[in-house]
Amino acid sequence: MNAPLDNAPLDLTAVGSVGGFFALRTGAPPGGPQVTSLARVYAGDDGPLAFRVSKVAARIGAPDTRIAVSVAQLGLAARLWSVALGSAALHGAVPGLDPALLHWDADGSSPDDLWLTEVTTRPAGAASIRDVVMDGHLAPLADALRARYRISARLLWGNAGSALAGAVRELDTWARRNGRNDVAERARALAAELFDHPDLRGTGTLRGAAFRRRSCCLYYRCPGGGVCGDCCFDRPPQRSVRGSSPRGASG
């Protein structure tokens, strides 16, 4: 499938058919006190981030703020990877996702949390996805979170790797269901290139659409929480010392 030229139409509705995390609204964002461009968030307007972290903490009963920070970041990373990788694998183009044009509703959930006010495209390729998602969003998001919260960079990049692998699995499932092996092959090939970046290389092992991460998102510490399917732990570890973290759990 040939990649369209820059600014060529991209069928985001078709991309969104893969699942809610792949959906991207376009046009003017809705009003609301927690709606803002992600550029403002990365520039220091951390009110929406604080709101989202507090909302996640209340929803999962997080006993430690770091858990809510981790889960909130993981969710946003999954949205960004899914939109970019899904567009590349299905249509041979990557939406620009300029942080100044991409608006986020910190009180919303997929598919109504992200709105792109102007759609431009770039040729599909790992370099384009890396520039759009990692450099454009995940790195400044990590900086913004770490400026406000005590959270390790290793944990956040581990979440980013997990979210990317999750997008590959969703595309693989969609491709098998729809007889589109070409889509699954492109998604896996692009992900393999993306995982070769220094920030993602050590986050885990990707074999096809299966991933095993080397860090933990900390969700197991929540009431009723368990380990994720790609966690470095086989079962929730016991915390032997009050207030301490088991090896590897903090990322």
- Those residues whose C-beta lies under 8 Å from the C-beta of residue 17, and which sit 6 or more positions away, are none
| Domain assignment of residue 243, yes or no | no
Residue 247's pLDDT is: 34
pLDDT band at 249 (very low <50, low <70, confident <90, very high): very low
pTM metric for this prediction: 0.89
- Those residues whose C-beta lies under 8 Å from the C-beta of residue 59, and which sit 6 or more positions away, are none
Average pLDDT, the chain: 89
Give the C-alpha distances (Å, rounded to integers) separating 233 from 10, 167, 219, 223: 40, 21, 12, 17
Among 163, 118, 128, 167, CA closest to 15: 167
For 89-146, write each residue's pLDDT tens digit.
999 999 999 999 999 999 999 999 999 999 999 988 999 999 999 999 999 999 999 9
Using a pLDDT cut of 70, give the percent of the chain over it: 91
Give the range of the structural domain holding residue 21, as residue numbers without chain letter: 12-221
Residue 9's pLDDT is: 62
Of residues 251 and 20, which shows the higher confidence score? Answer: 20
Residue 61 in contact with residue 49, Cβ under 8 Å? no
Q: What share of the chain is helix, strand, coil (3-state, %, to 5)?
A: 50, 10, 40
For 64-93, write each residue's pLDDT tens digit.
999 999 999 999 999 999 999 999 999 999
Of residues 59 and 212, which shows the higher confidence score? Answer: 59
| Domain assignment of residue 229, yes or no | no
| Domain assignment of residue 210, yes or no | yes
| Domain assignment of residue 250, yes or no | no
Residue 5's pLDDT is: 35
| Domain assignment of residue 1, yes or no | no
| Domain assignment of residue 5, yes or no | no
**Domains of the chain: total:** 1
| Domain assignment of residue 249, yes or no | no
Q: Residues 210-231: what's their mean pLDDT?
A: 82
Residue 239's pLDDT is: 59
| Domain assignment of residue 67, yes or no | yes
